[in-house]
Amino acid sequence: MRVIGVSVLLLVSACARPLAGPRLVVAVNAGVEGDALKRAAADYQRVSGVRMEIVELPYSNLFEKAMLDLDGRTGAYDVIMMDDPWFPRLASHEKLVPLEPLYRKAGLPGPDADFVTTSLRLCHEPYPDGRLYALPYVGNSPLFFYRKDLFDKHGLAPPRTWQEVRDAARRLQDAERGFYGYVMRAAPGNAATTDFMPILWAFGADLLAPGGAPRLDTPEAAEALSFMVEMGRFTPPGYVSFNADEIAAHLLQSTAIMSINWPSWISAMDDPVKSRVVGKIAFALLPGQREPGRAVLGNWLLAIPAGSDRIDAAFTFLRWATDPAQMRRAAERGGPPTRRSVFLDPELLRRFRAYPVQLASLETGRPRPRTPHWNEIENIFGVLISKANAGSISVADALARAQREILDIQRRNP
């Protein structure tokens, strides 16, 4: 049953053993990232007898509901799925259960070394080696999608720099009728920020300095945003409202040649029911410029709220869902793993041709700034990036306003 955008699913099975154990309530993202966890919970109910209740929430509602539960210690959820940029805020003030004592109680030293290091670091507060409050479940890290058939036709190598991306976009858009050279997302907020951060880093700039102060008043930041705006010349009209779905649609319908996008879209590219470009899309690491290209990590983590009264049972489920066998099953269902052994599994490598580059992107990826104020910062920064792309404000004004408003956010919330 779906009520006001929220779905509560009680997982039952005719072949399940009697549900005599505890009940666990799991809050998941309503989307491809949460699908594997929903199916894992159904599997766990069958093998354990624990009654699994899934609360499925859209992205923004999941954050809001998680905050309400954690701040009020209501005990509404026993496990929460969270996007990694939320983690510094959700893990603050002991709102999540630290996992090290639970590992010791189970006679274990901690998470095993098979987890991809960059993914496991996201689960520590402070980053990267503070207390452990979560385990990584979905190893999201964007890739560079490009039309290999058209690159080969025109004798072009995969772009290694953003300059090469721009040159290829210009050349291929001129040569191939009906194509846009590039497609990007610049919808206000998360979309614009996520597509811009790899460009910002590649040009040698950053959003925040090591001490946490905004660092957007630099020539490198201005050059990076000017470059993004210039790439709008090769992008379909209306891109200032695009998110990942619109990017994927242009690639799938064979109207765009290059983009950044998430690995969850890879399978669609080779699905003849959905795609006009089966076998034509290749995947690479993100381009660099002054600095090597690095993807924006977008892992999904699993954590236990401090208000839960079923902590031991929740921890048992966390360990089970993230063990190698279960993560392999999640990978078979399309979930990007966070374990090296799954990425390197010979059978999966034959099935998922992008796994080598996915693992490389995950291992070299970089988190968004680890600050409890990230949601506010991302929102205002993404609005201004979108406006600069729309031409309603200049690059200089967008960065100057972002600098001031991020400082205001930090001063209001010391």
- Taking the C-alpha atoms of residue 91 and residue 240, their distance in angstroms, rounded to an integer, is 33
Query: What is the value of pTM for the model shown?
Result: 0.93
Region 348-369: what's the mean pLDDT? 97
pLDDT at 267 over 50: yes
DSSP label at residue 29: E
Pick the closest to residue 9 from 49, 63, 51, 59 (CA basis): 51
pLDDT tens-digit profile of 96-135?
999 999 999 999 999 999 999 999 999 999 999 999 999 9
Contact criterion met (CB below 8 Å) for 34 and 62: no
What is the per-residue pLDDT for 334? 86
Angle, helix 190-202 to helix 374-390, in steps of 10 degrees: 80
- Taking the C-alpha atoms of residue 344 and residue 331, their distance in angstroms, rounded to an integer, is 12
Phi, psi of 323 (to 5 degrees): -75, 165
- Provide the residue ranges of all domains of the chain, joining segments of one domain with +: 2-140+297-364, 143-296+370-412
**Alpha-carbon distances of 188 from 170, 217, 333, 384, 386, rounded to whole Å:** 26, 21, 31, 8, 5
- Taking the C-alpha atoms of residue 104 and residue 95, their distance in angstroms, rounded to an integer, is 20
Mean pLDDT score across all residues of the chain: 94
What is the per-residue pLDDT for 287? 98
Query: Do 143-296+370-412 and 2-140+297-364 fall under one CATH topology?
Result: yes
Residues 6 or more apart whose CB falls under 8 angstroms from that of 28 comprise: 34, 37, 38, 54, 55, 56, 57, 62, 81
2-140+297-364: CATH topology is: D-Maltodextrin-Binding Protein; domain 2 (3.40.190)
pLDDT tens-digit profile of 271-320?
999 999 999 999 999 999 999 999 999 999 999 999 999 999 999 999 99
- Taking the C-alpha atoms of residue 305 and residue 117, their distance in angstroms, rounded to an integer, is 24
Residue with tokens 């290749």: 282
Helices (H) and strands (E) in the chain, counts: 18, 12
What is the per-residue pLDDT for 60? 85
Region 356-368: what's the mean pLDDT? 98
Contact criterion met (CB below 8 Å) for 179 and 173: yes
Pick the closest to residue 294 from 364, 224, 225, 357 (CA basis): 364
pLDDT tens-digit profile of 172-184?
999 999 999 999 9
Region 369-389: what's the mean pLDDT? 96
pLDDT tens-digit profile of 218-256?
999 999 999 999 999 999 999 999 999 999 999 999 999
Coil, helix or strand at residue 202: helix
Pick the closest to residue 198 from 385, 61, 328 (CA basis): 385
The domain 143-296+370-412: what is its CATH number?
Answer: 3.40.190.10
Sheet containing 134-138: order of strands:
2-3, 6-10, 51-57, 23-29, 79-83, 300-303, 134-138
- Taking the C-alpha atoms of residue 159 and residue 281, their distance in angstroms, rounded to an integer, is 14
- Taking the C-alpha atoms of residue 106 and residue 17, their distance in angstroms, rounded to an integer, is 25
Contact criterion met (CB below 8 Å) for 295 and 142: yes
Does 237 sit behind a cis peptide bond, omega within 30 degrees of 0 on the bond before it? no
One-letter amino acid identity for 212? G
